[in-house]
Amino acid sequence: MAHGGEHVLKVGNEGREVFWNAPYEGILFFFTAIALVIFAYGIYRRWQMWKAIGLPENRTDNAGERFKALIMNGLFQVKTFREAYPGIFHGLIFFGFLVLIFGAAIDATQFHIGLPFFHGGFYLWFSLIMEIFGLAVLIGIVMAIMRRYIFKPDFLGYKGVPDNRPDDAIVLVGIGAIIVTGFIIEALRLHVNINVDGFTWGDWSFVGYALSKTLAGVSYDTTRILHKITWWVHSFITLGLIAYLPFSRLLHIFTTPANYYMKNLEPTGTLKPIADFENAESFGAGQLEDFTWKQIFDSEACTRCGRCQDGCPAYISGKPLSPKKVIQDIKTYWLERAPSVLAAGKKTKEGEEAAIPEPDKAMVGEVIDLHELWACTNCMYCMEHCPALIEHVPKIVQMRQYKVLMEADFSPELQLTYRNMENNSNPWGIGAHMRGDWAKDLGIKTLAEDPDVEYLFYVGCSGSFDDRGKKVSVAFAKILKEAGVSFGILGEEEGCCGDSAMRGGNEYLYQTLAQMNIETMNGYGVKKVVCTCPHGYNALKKDYRHFGGNFEVFHHTEILADLIAKGKIKLTKPVEGLFTYHDSCFLGRYNDIYNQPRQVLGAVPGMRMVEMKSNRAKSFCCGAGGARMWMEEDIGERINDMRTDQAIDVKADTIAVGCPFCLTMMSDGIKDREKEENMKAFDIAEIVWQSMAVEKETDAGTPPE
């Protein structure tokens, strides 16, 4: 009998006998022990596998910040709630179960040692809370089942083919069954209790009580038998799920929070530089063994929720790439490979000679298709929205590094681009001596002529060589002069920032370029830098510090917002038309610059603004990031055309951008869609210069030829 003592049911002593009608606790403990052993074995086995493959990496420093990430995303579900529907159902299940587990613990305590307060008002409120959260879990499960099996969103599958595995169904039905049987048990118990004199508190267990009313006429003995059966079914499903957990998607209950704790604390998008070219034997990731353990562990935190895929410009435009698929393919390969590596390790420990088996396939090329690998624009949508903080982009870049640095096997267009960057320090291969030509007639001094300036205007390749980009440089330089900002350029001494080389896997070229720039800048004692190109901005700000380049770096929209706020420049001339702002990935998701460009545009008199369907953190890439600017786009639809369509959809007549790559891509999109007559793309600096009305007829402000 219950240790908690016989409970006397009467008014004023509301409560119940925990584990009423469910004897044979010995049997229950026996099966609980079995379930826990299986659970522990599963976790242990997994733990061994996590340790089996991967290079070392420290992800446990700075415990405070890590703990914060764990609490915010684990306990408060911040990332998960970013999407309404899955956020809500996951929240219902998560918080529901959290409370139910706590409740079960109270039940168990009452059963074993007795709780003096487990009756009366406390009991009634306890019942009500359990009831609400049990119902919450059930609603959550129903929502999840409806989404997966009725609504069938594409992001749960791949290219229109659903990816529903038996595991998904087992988990959903299993959890649902725990709750349903729980309510049935309650109903059966209440049905018996109703016969007790003075029973008045059924409404506190409103679900079970409502169910119990369907049992009218069922005899006491039948109820007892049904109760007993359901109770054991309930217990076995619960124990079954506990035993099954390490082998199922439920493992994410542990791995995803672990991933929160082990999050990357570096600034968004930072790529770890290759440290030693001279002595390293291999570069990039060609095999699983070339990843760190954490990079492989990422795939264990993945629940195939598909948020990454849902906004991936490559996927949406019909390329084979899906960030989810990449992570899952790595996981599948790891699950194939880890046991044999583990077995070899074990044998070696026992003194036998056992070589780690050679991989039977190439990770890059076979596990991950090369078209997937090269389709990524590094737009950071996947990483921004992954509720498990998985790092997709660095893995893709590392696999590209393997193809470029180790095998030198990559597209001819990109080879030409790299040669151009090697020989003339710009992707087009235009003579390096022409870099400063755009500024010839503007009276802008180079740092060689006058190093005593506040800002270095790092112009970048587009701003120096691309005809459209040069107009942006001119507009911005004129604004700076008009505002009296002290600045200079490097002219011929400037070099390519190397972003496209870095993200296209040519780390060697990138580091060569970066080091040359850093040497030049440090030689002039440069402290503050302003860039019109977000790619240079991001590289100089976050990546150059690895090689001794420590500058305070600004994007020109930040400077413009500041100049306007301080009244240093006056925007007087109204601009006509309906504008939409296209967020550059390297400004928005990489650097959280969403507001400044909008503030600048908002300050332009007469400005009418409209947002595209995808904006801010959900912005849709122009298609040029991650070295895609220099590659052919021959699979699926063109990403820039799809983005242009979004601007057309909101009837914008001007697409405002803050990035020369975006400017090119949007201008091309407008051409492709034959909208040149009534649509234009401008950099924000051009719009500002036009509105300053310093010149009657400006270069900036006239449509590109």
Q: How far is the CB of 64 from other proteins (least distance, A)?
A: 39
Q: How far is the CB of 659 from other proteins (least distance, A)?
A: 26
Question: Is residue 467 a contact point for other proteins (CB under 8 A)?
Answer: no
Cα 342 to chain centroid distance, Å, stands at 31
Cα distances from 476 to residues 10, 483, 573, 607, in angstroms, run 82, 11, 17, 19
Q: Which of 88, 99, 430, 617 binds other proteins (CB under 8 A)?
A: 430
* Among the residue ranges 1-9, 174-182, 432-440, 450-458, the one whose residues contact other proteins (CB under 8 A): 432-440
CB 508 within 8 A of CB 277: yes
Q: Contact at 8 Å (CB) between 388 and 259?
A: yes
Which range, of 224-232, 275-283, 470-478, 625-633, touches other proteins by CB under 8 A?
275-283
Q: Find all residues with CB under 8 Å of 357, minimum gap 6, and list them.
A: 340, 341, 344
Q: How far is the CB of 704 from other proteins (least distance, A)?
A: 18
| Residue 520 lies near other proteins (rule: CB under 8 A) | no
Tokens of 412: 């001819």
- Number of residues interacting with other proteins: please give it, by CB under 8 A: 24
| Residue 424 touches other proteins, criterion: CB under 8 A | yes
Rule CB under 8 A: is residue 164 a binding residue for other proteins? no
Count CA atoms closer than 13 A to 595's CA, side-chain side.
2
Using DSSP's 3-state secondary structure scheme, residue 195 falls into: coil
Spell out, one character per residue from 487 to 516, where the chain touches other proteins: x when CB under 8 A holds, - when not: ---------------------x--------
Could you say whether residue 340 binds other proteins (CB under 8 A)? no
β-strand partners of 446:
489
Give the one residue of 51, 152, 346, 419 binding other proteins; rule: CB under 8 A: 419
Which lies closer to other proteins via its Cβ, residue 84 or residue 408? 408
What does 293-307 look like in DSSP terms, one character per residue?
Answer: HHHHHHHHH-----H
Q: How far apart are the first and last CA of the chain?
A: 90
**Residue 365 backbone class (left: φ over 0; alpha: ψ -120 to 50; beta: rest):** left
Q: Which of 327, 309, 336 shows the shortest CA–CA distance to 368?
A: 327
Distance between CA atoms of residues 331 and 541, nearest Å: 33
Which range of residues in 178-186, 278-286, 367-375, 590-598 is near other proteins by CB under 8 A?
278-286
Is residue 524 involved in binding other proteins (CB under 8 A)?
no
Looking at the chain, how many residues does it have? 705
DSSP bridge pairs for 656: 581, 682
- Could you give the C-alpha distances from 645 to 330, 642, 674, 676, in angstroms and in order? 34, 5, 11, 13
Question: Does 374 participate in binding other proteins (rule CB under 8 A)?
Answer: no
| Interface stretch with other proteins, choices 400-408, 467-475, 531-539, 555-563 (CB under 8 A) | 400-408
Complex with other proteins: residue 270 or 411, whichever CB lies closer: 411
Is position 431 an interface residue for other proteins (rule: CB under 8 A)? yes
| One of 173, 233, 343, 432 touching other proteins (CB under 8 A) | 432
Q: Which of residues 244, 283, 315, 458 is near other proteins by CB under 8 A?
A: 283
Which residues 632-691 are close enough to bind other proteins by CB under 8 A?
A: none
Q: In the set 3, 277, 632, 703, which binds other proteins (CB under 8 A)?
A: 277
Residue 504 or 623: the one with the smaller Cβ distance to other proteins is 504
Taking CB under 8 A as the criterion, the residue among 210, 406, 578, 693 binding other proteins is 406
Task: Give residue for tokens 């990031």.
Answer: 625
Q: Which position has the token pair 């307060």?
A: 117
Instruction: Report whether 216 contacts 194 (CB < 8 A).
Output: no
**592: helix, coil or strand?**
coil
Min. distance of Cβ 155 from other proteins in angstroms? Answer: 37
> 231, 333, 334, 418: which one contacts other proteins (CB under 8 A)?
418
Task: Answer for the pair 572, 602: CB distance below 8 angstroms, yes or no.
Answer: no
Contacting positions for other proteins (CB under 8 A): 277-278, 281-283, 404-408, 410, 412, 415, 418-419, 423-424, 429-434, 508
